[in-house]
């Protein structure tokens, strides 16, 4: 079966029967599956394999699911879609799950068919590019916060990486400075001015141009910038 446009889905579940059941349905729908049964292995897989989605049981050995979710959102600054799949059914648990950054919350026992529908809905909302972005020789590994161009790693600051990620999520689209800031600071807490964007883009261009003569980031006079091949 042809694989979906998604690098892989990491299923974190210490109950082997439940994990195998989820894998059967994911395989059936053409997704690539990675498995883990504890928090320590989960962190290692995320850092090395950069899955495009996480299906996360909260009550797992080693490092629990809440800590894994907090690590992804706060330490890695990753928007990887996370579906919590857990026996914790109380309203306060569901609310806490969403506060930690879950994109969906499913209580056990669950319907595998419903899980598949929810996976597709979350991927549709967030985009299947959450693990790795590619654009004509440029590659971004979002979880690892790594940028590569033609197999050469770019040494980017946090802000430069975030700007490049914004462009790569909207290739060919003209983005104003205000739009770029809004994508970066979704809560509207803007820590930089519009013109500061110009400085960061200038530095980003210089670093890209040390590896290739291509001018990926084009200035659209009077409007903003866009990513082009």
Asked if the structure places residue 69 within a domain, the reply is: yes
Is there a contact between 102 and 83 (Cβ–Cβ < 8 Å)? Answer: yes
Q: Is 228 exposed, middle or buried (0-12, 13-18, 19+ CB in 10 A)?
A: middle
Asked if the structure places residue 2 within a domain, the reply is: no
Asked if the structure places residue 3 within a domain, the reply is: no
Asked if the structure places residue 37 within a domain, the reply is: yes
Domain boundary at 126, 146, 170, which?
126
Looking at 50-193, list the stretches that DSSP marks H as alpha helix, in order from N- to C-terminal side: 65-70, 91-100, 112-126, 158-169, 177-184
According to DSSP, the residues that pair with 55 across neighbouring strands are 11, 83
Q: Residue 192 — pLDDT band, cuts 50, 70, 90? A: low
Q: Dump pLDDT digits (tens) for 1-24.
A: 444 445 689 999 999 999 999 999
Do 88 and 154 share a structural domain? no
Do 164 and 111 share a structural domain? no
Do 119 and 46 share a structural domain? yes
For position 209, which CATH number holds?
1.10.10.10
Asked if the structure places residue 4 within a domain, the reply is: no
Domain boundary at 126, 149, 167, which?
126
Do 110 and 32 share a structural domain? yes
Is there a contact between 122 and 53 (Cβ–Cβ < 8 Å)? Answer: yes
Is there a contact between 22 and 114 (Cβ–Cβ < 8 Å)? Answer: no
Which of 181, 5, 204, 54 shows the shortest CA–CA distance to 218? 204
Do 169 and 136 share a structural domain? yes
pLDDT at 165: 87
Do 22 and 108 share a structural domain? yes
pLDDT at 15: 95
Looking at the chain, the number of H-run helices and the number of E-run strands are: 8, 12
- Looking at 26-40, 123-137, 149-163, 180-194, which range is the least confident one? 180-194
Q: What pTM, to 2 d.p., does this model score?
A: 0.60
Do 118 and 13 share a structural domain? yes
Q: Domain span at residue 107?
A: 9-126
Q: Considering its fold, how many domains does the chain have in total?
A: 2
d(CA 113, CA 171): 34
Q: Residue 63 — pLDDT band, cuts 50, 70, 90? A: very high
Asked if the structure places residue 190 within a domain, the reply is: yes
Count of alpha carbons within 13 Å of 125, Cβ hemisphere only?
13
């Amino acid at each position: 079966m042809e694989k979906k446009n998604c690098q892989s889905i990491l299923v974190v579940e210490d109950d082997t029967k439940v994990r195998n059941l989820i894998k059967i349905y994911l395989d059936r729908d053409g997704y690539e599956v990675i498995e883990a049964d504890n928090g320590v292995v989960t962190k290692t897989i995320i850092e090395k394999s950069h899955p495009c989605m996480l299906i996360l049981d909260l009550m797992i050995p080693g490092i629990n699911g809440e800590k894994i979710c907090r690590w992804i959102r706060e330490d890695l600054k990753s928007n990887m879609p996370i579906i919590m799949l857990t026996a914790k059914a109380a309203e306060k648990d569901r609310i806490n799950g969403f506060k930690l950054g879950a994109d969906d919350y499913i209580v056990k026992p669950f319907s595998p068919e419903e899980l598949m529908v929810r996976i597709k809905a979350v991927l549709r909302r967030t985009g299947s590019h959450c693990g790795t972005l590619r654009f004509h020789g440029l590659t971004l590994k979002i979880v690892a916060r790594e940028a590569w161009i033609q197999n050469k790693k770019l040494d980017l600051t946090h802000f430069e990486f975030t700007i490049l990620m914004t462009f790569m999520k909207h290739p060919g689209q003209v983005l104003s400075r205000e739009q770029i800031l809004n994508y970066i600071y979704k809560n509207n807490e803007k820590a930089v001015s519009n013109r500061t964007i110009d400085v960061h883009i200038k530095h980003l261009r210089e670093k890209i141009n040390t590896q290739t003569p291509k001018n990926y980031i084009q200035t659209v006079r009077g409007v903003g910038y866009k990513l082009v091949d």
